[in-house]
Amino acid sequence: MNIDEMRKMGNMPFHNNESIRQFILESKNDIADLHKALDHPTRIEILARLLTEELEFSELQEAIKVAKTSLANHLTSLLECGLIEKRERGLYQISFDGQDVLKNTAKTFLEIKIRENERLESLRLRYEALINKYTVLGSDKKMVEKDFKIVDLREMRVVSFHAMGEFLGDPETKAYQKLIEWAKPSDLFEDSKKHRVFGFNNPDPQYNKETGNFIVDKDNQYGYEFWMTVPETFEVEGSMTVKTIPEGLFVTKSCSGVDELGKVWGELATWVKDSTEYKFGSHQCLEENTNPKISDGNKIPFIIYFPIAKK
């Protein structure tokens, strides 16, 4: 198969992720060299300016406003990797490979930004739902500032337990049962500092703005996921799902009992909305059960972690 045949197919001829993995592993050094050639804004700009017209060295220098030596070095890098070509009379033009790299880079970057905006919009709607559902407008009850703490939650290695459910509380019960069955035989609940328990909706239940209620049934299920932290040296046996959770910044508040969770989420969302220093973060909301040995849902001590970022 030649390059023209692959272009007609519209996609590179990879059958599945395994074939992509093998190809990348065998070509990793060459792929890294290609990315190095693009590892400077000036080189990206050169390719962009050559996309629609051929330009001389002096024309590039005038357009990009860089020193001659610097421009010459960037052009050499792009020439060596075949992304541009030098024609007679000192004209530079983008190569077919350069066009492919630039167009695919622009397409991929745009798709990433679109997904990022979609995630942020989804988060905004989630926080808005929390504020609308759990905050009483016009209430003269003031939130006590000392109840809110800023926490930098370090990177964690966790074992994950997930379940879906058809009514409120259903997936939490199912997922927690999976956690108990795995952790209890090894007495992992005995050390709540080493083996912390976090939970969160995954995915969130649908929310009806008009009625102010969550929509959960057989056709509109939601999920819940529990994490139990384990040290790097802890050997996880079997087919358990192990994840590494990146560091994140949160505003937190403590409460007691599952009935208090919704109210506290609303208070945290309002705190962030009114903050002059922090904005909504895009990482995961978390509920930490600080004493998993307590079985009475009305007495479970929680710390609620609301994701934030500096403005």
Domains with residue ranges and CATH for the chain: 3-102 (1.10.10.10), 145-310 (3.20.80.10)
Q: What is the pLDDT of residue 79?
A: 93
Please tell me the distance from the alpha carbon of residue 242 to that of residue 247, in angstroms, as a whole number: 16
Query: Any idea which of 132-136, 169-173, 204-208 has the lowest mean pLDDT?
Result: 132-136
- Average the pLDDT over 179-192 and give the result: 92
- Alpha-carbon dihedral angle through residues 39, 42, 46, 49, given to the nearest 10 degrees: 120
Residue 149: the pLDDT is 94
This model's pTM is above 0.85: no
- Helix then strand then coil, % of the chain, to nearest 5: 45, 25, 30
